[in-house]
């Protein structure tokens, strides 16, 4: 469901919606237009007892994935960010997406961006998106219409095939592998953190990590970055030894 609500009283309205989700052990995403609003909103809601985190640009790739895992695991209930589109989020526990300043036209409030952001809650059986705005922009209208069109197609498909929507229960994946899936490339800092978390990897997860590192090693060799390729080769050997119990 999609709702457009006025900005007057929006924070208290949002607080009530969040509390409903907390009671049902569901999660909330909030996207703002500015870093300042994200910080102020995080502080305000935290002071009112909401377990909330702010996902800002200074957090590195692995830390971002750890934060997303903590959200899924219920360590906290609400995640705030300026641009949540780039996170590659796959969060079936999220039932509410709140878009602040939805009527401020710009890169983060285009039709495409709004459709993607609204879609963050689409997988949940009680998925709901609230667009806080004082007017309807062209992008908002198109995004709402397109989302409704897609939902109509899904409902028709479900009816035709006798499908009853069920809550999605997704296995919690290893945080390091989640990072690899999202990034597909590790920088020096990330590689160091992977080294520190190797013990968290189960044996069945290691081949996926080896495949990624081998690809990165070959890329480094092609660029004649032989020192980097050598470091990656050593990590691959270490992983293979771990698989063999050495």
pLDDT of residue 171 exceeding 60, the answer is no
Domain range enclosing 210? 175-243
Residue 219 is assigned to a structural domain of this protein: yes
Express each pLDDT in 97-148 by its tens digit: 999 999 998 888 999 999 989 988 877 889 999 999 999 999 999 999 999 8
> Which of 132, 160, 188 is the C-terminal boundary of a domain?
160
Among 104, 132, 160, residue at a domain's last position: 160
Number of folded domains in the chain?
A: 2
DSSP the chain: -EEEE-STTHHHHHHHHHHHHHHTT-EEEEE-SSHHHHHHHHHHHHHTT--EEEE-TTS-HHHHHHHHHHHHHTS-SEEEES-GGGG----TTEEEEEETTTTS-SGGGSHHHHHHHHGGGTTSTT-EEEEE-SS--HHHHHHHHHHHHHHHHHHHHHHHTTPPP-----PPPPHHHHHHHHHS---HHHHHHHHHTGGG--GGGHHHHHHHHHHHHHHHHHTT-HHHHHHHHHHHHHHHHHHTT-
Q: Is the pLDDT of residue 9 over 80?
A: yes
Whether residue 74 is found in the same domain as residue 29: yes
Q: Are residues 150 and 185 in the same domain?
A: no
More confident residue, 232 or 51: 51
The answer to whether the pTM exceeds 0.85 is no
Same domain, 233 and 151: no
User: pLDDT value at position 181?
Assistant: 46
In a shared domain, residues 206 and 237: yes
């Amino acid at each position: 469901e999609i709702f457009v609500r006025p900005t007057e009283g929006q924070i208290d309205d949002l607080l009530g919606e969040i509390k409903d989700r907390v009671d049902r052990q569901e999660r909330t995403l909030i996207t703002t237009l500015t870093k300042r609003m994200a910080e102020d909103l995080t502080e305000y809601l935290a002071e009112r007892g909401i377990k909330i985190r702010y996902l800002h640009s200074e957090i590195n790739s692995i830390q971002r994935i750890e934060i997303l895992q903590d959200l899924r695991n219920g360590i906290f209930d609400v995640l705030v960010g300026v641009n949540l589109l780039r996170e590659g989020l796959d969060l079936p526990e999220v039932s509410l997406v709140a878009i602040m300043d939805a009527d401020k036209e710009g890169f983060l409030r285009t039709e495409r961006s709004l459709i993607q952001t609204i879609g963050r809650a689409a997988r949940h059986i009680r998925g709901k998106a609230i667009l806080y705005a004082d007017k309807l922009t062209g992008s908002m209208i198109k995004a709402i219409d397109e989302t409704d069109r897609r939902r109509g197609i899904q409902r028709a498909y479900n009816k035709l095939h006798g499908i009853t929507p069920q809550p999605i229960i997704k296995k919690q994946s290893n945080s390091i592998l989640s990072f690899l899936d999202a990034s597909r490339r590790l920088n020096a800092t990330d590689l160091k953190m992977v080294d520190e978390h190797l013990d968290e990897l189960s044996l069945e997860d290691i081949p996926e990590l080896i495949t990624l590192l081998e690809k990165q090693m070959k890329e480094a060799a092609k660029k004649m970055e032989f020192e980097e390729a050598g470091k990656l080769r050593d990590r691959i050997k270490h992983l293979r030894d771990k698989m063999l119990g050495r």
